[in-house]
Chains A and B, each alone.
Chain A
Amino acid sequence: GQQVMQIPQYQHVQEGEDFTTYCNSSTTLSNIQWYKQRPGGHPVFLIQLVKSGEVKKQKRLTFQFGEAKKNSSLHITATQTTDVGTYFCAGPNSGAGNMLTFGGGTRLMVKP
Chain B
Amino acid sequence: SQTIHQWPATLVQPVGSPLSLECTVEGTSNPNLYWYRQAAGRGLQLLFYSVGIGQISSEVPQNLSASRPQDRQFILSSKKLLLSDSGFYLCSGRDIDTQYFGPGTRLTVL
Q: Taking beta carbons and an 8 Å cutoff, which residues of A are in contact with B?
A: 31, 33, 35, 41-45, 48, 88, 90, 96-100, 102-105, 107
Contacts and interface: CB of A to CB of B under 8 A. Distances in A.
A35 B99 contact: yes
B90 A88 contact: no
Contacts of A103: 43
B57 A97 contact: yes
Interface of B: 32, 34, 41-44, 46, 49-51, 57, 90, 94, 97-104
A88 B44 contact: yes
Given A98-B51, A105-B43, 4 more contacts: A42-B101, A48-B98, A104-B42, A104-B43
A100 B101 CA distance: 13
Nearest to A104: B43
Task: Please list the 9 inter-chain residue pairs (A to B) with the smallest Cβ-Cβ separation, ordered nearest first.
Answer: A104-B43, A42-B101, A97-B49, A102-B44, A42-B104, A45-B98, A43-B101, A105-B43, A98-B32
Nearest to A100: B99
Nearest to B55: A97
Contacts of B44: 43, 88, 102, 105
Of B34, B50, B99, chain A has the most CB atoms within 10 Å of the CB of B99
